[in-house]
């Protein structure tokens, strides 16, 4: 069972519908016990980091996420769900969950550069088969994660400057783009992430494992 964390911010329905379409059992939840004991966990999100952290703490979901991650099970953070994993954000000097070292920064003002970055963009410098080099995905964001350790960056995109489009460490995969809004490429990513059967991650595999549904 895949649990989708509900803290009042995010395209929960879109993520759930994408998983339903792919045939993976899933449930949207605010229950910390379900979050902590999930087989796989997705943290989506849109909006401001400061409010998101307050919501997670109010619901007891911050500690549940920490407990879940300590087990080494697969975790997918999407958009704000990616940014929340880092220490802080330039958006109101907000603190994040601090699970990964780094800062969330605003795109610098440049002539002709539109912020928020909204629309389709391609992945560059991908180091994971699950993130196809040159693959096109859908982004909506004004801020981007800047990991303290560049080795955490799994793929980049460019919007005025190169930025981390995806981050990976162990069983944690974070995407700045929205797989659930990215057509066939996004569905393929979700299928490969959700379909792993070895208790690990398909980072080094060119094929999707049989689905655990």
Q: Which of 50, 86, 90, 62 is nearest to 5 (CA)?
A: 62
Active-site pick, 79, 117, 141, 159: 79
Active-site pick, 117, 141, 159, 178: 178
What torsion do the CA atoms of 102, 35, 71, 103 make, to the nearest 10 degrees?
0
**90 carries an active-site annotation:** no
Q: Give the span between the Cα atoms of 171 and 138, in whole angstroms.
A: 23
Active-site pick, 117, 141, 159, 180: 180
Q: Which of 88, 68, 76 is nearest to 195 (CA)?
A: 76
Q: Give the span between the Cα atoms of 204 and 127, in whole angstroms.
A: 9
**201 carries an active-site annotation:** no
DSSP for 34-57, please give it.
HHHH-SEEEE---S-HHHHHHHHH
Q: Which residues are designated catalytic?
A: 79, 178, 180
């Amino acid at each position: 069972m895949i649990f989708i964390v509900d803290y009042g911010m995010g395209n929960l329905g879109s993520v759930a519908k994408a998983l339903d379409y792919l045939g993976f059992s899933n449930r949207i939840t605010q229950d910390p016990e379900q979050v902590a004991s999930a087989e796989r966990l997705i943290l989506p999100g849109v909006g401001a980091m400061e409010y998101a952290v307050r919501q997670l703490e109010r619901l007891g979901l911050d500690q549940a996420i920490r407990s879940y991650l300590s087990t080494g099970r697969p975790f997918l953070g999407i958009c704000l769900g990616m940014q929340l994993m880092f220490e802080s954000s330039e958006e109101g000097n907000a603190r994040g969950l601090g699970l990964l070292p780094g800062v969330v920064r605003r795109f610098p003002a440049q002539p002709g550069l539109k912020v928020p970055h909204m629309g389709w963009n391609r992945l560059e410098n991908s180091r994971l088969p699950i993130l196809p080099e040159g693959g096109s995905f859908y982004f909506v964001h004004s801020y981007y994660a800047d990991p303290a350790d560049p080795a955490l960056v799994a793929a980049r995109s460019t919007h005025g400057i190169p930025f981390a489009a995806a981050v990976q460490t162990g069983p944690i995969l974070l995407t700045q783009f929205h797989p659930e809004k990215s057509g066939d490429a996004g569905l393929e990513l979700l299928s490969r992430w959700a379909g792993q059967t070895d208790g690990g991650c398909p980072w080094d595999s060119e094929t999707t494992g049989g689905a655990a549904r």
